[in-house]
């Protein structure tokens, strides 16, 4: 019988990560889209690093940084009361870093593709930057926001290297679906591994299909023809 805990833990991790990424990525993407700072290429490079670095590299350095034996990890443990190594909280932090570009890039592209006249007209009418962002810009980049949300959620579901390095394999705490699949294959329990894999395959297929349907405008077309 399949253990549903890894799947539930995976979706809990993906949901929390996606919500936090949305909060973090909107101001970051806004700054990247409109800034003229010389630091922009450096920040863009750092944001994009998870796209090219092996997940185990990111996971290893996070494991070292957050370890209680390290100065930074010891400070987090003693002053904030957070043990990020081999904990669910550590999985969240690792997922935030590893899935960051999947949220930032679509949102940044949405801001960049907007007509400058929208922002300028709002400023001329006396609206603040915050009001312009919330009431003018964000409503006009809904497809980009939805794309970022879906991609970040799907990418978090499929994580393996980062979560294995920083979270280990603790049932009910850090044993997500990707780790469970690895365990079942190691135990030659291919039936359980296939069940986990098929569930994740089906869910991620539907999620990515939704991205293409939204970006292709198929939902709007169907409403128009009806």
Question: CATH no. for residue 65?
Answer: 1.10.3720.10
Structure tokens at 160: 């393996």
Domain that holds residue 193: 5-225
Q: Band of the pLDDT at 217, cuts 50, 70, 90? A: low
Q: What is the pLDDT of residue 221?
A: 53
Element (H, E) at 133: none
Rounded Cα distance, 64 and 59, in Å: 9
Q: What is the pTM of this model?
A: 0.88
What does the pLDDT average to over 6-29?
96
Q: What is the pLDDT of residue 140?
A: 93
Structure tokens at 214: 């939204």
How many domains would you assign to the chain?
A: 1
Distances (CA, A) of 153 to 15, 33, 105, 159: 7, 23, 14, 10
Element (H, E) at 197: helix 190-216
What does the pLDDT average to over 158-181?
91
What does the pLDDT average to over 106-133?
89
Rounded Cα distance, 200 and 177, in Å: 8
Q: Band of the pLDDT at 92, cuts 50, 70, 90? A: very high
Cβ–Cβ under 8 Å, residues 96 and 43: no
pLDDT tens, residue by residue, 37-54: 999 999 999 999 999 999
What does the pLDDT average to over 180-191?
92
């Amino acid at each position: 019988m399949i253990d549903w805990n890894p799947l539930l833990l995976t979706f809990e991790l993906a949901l929390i990560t996606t919500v936090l990424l949305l909060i973090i990525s909107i101001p970051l993407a806004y700054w990247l889209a409109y800034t003229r700072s010389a630091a922009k290429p450096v920040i863009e490079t750092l944001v994009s690093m998870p796209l090219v670095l092996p997940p185990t590299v990111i996971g290893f350095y996070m494991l070292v940084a957050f370890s209680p034996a390290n100065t930074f990890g010891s400070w987090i443990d003693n002053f904030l009361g957070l043990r990020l190594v081999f904990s669910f909280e550590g999985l969240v932090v690792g997922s935030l870093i590893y899935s960051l570009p999947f949220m930032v890039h679509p949102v940044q592209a949405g801001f960049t593709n907007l007509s400058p006249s929208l922002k300028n007209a709002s400023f001329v009418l006396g609206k603040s930057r915050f009001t312009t962002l919330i009431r003018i810009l964000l409503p006009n980049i809904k497809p980009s926001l939805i794309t970022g949300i879906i991609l970040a959620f799907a990418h978090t579901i499929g994580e393996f290297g980062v979560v294995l390095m920083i979270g280990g394999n603790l049932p009910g705490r850090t044993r997500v679906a990707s780790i469970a699949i690895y365990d079942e294959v190691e135990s030659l329990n291919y039936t359980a591994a296939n069940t986990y894999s098929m569930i994740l395959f089906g869910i991620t297929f539907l999620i990515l299909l939704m991205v293409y349907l939204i970006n292709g405008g198929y939902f709007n077309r169907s409403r128009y023809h009806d």
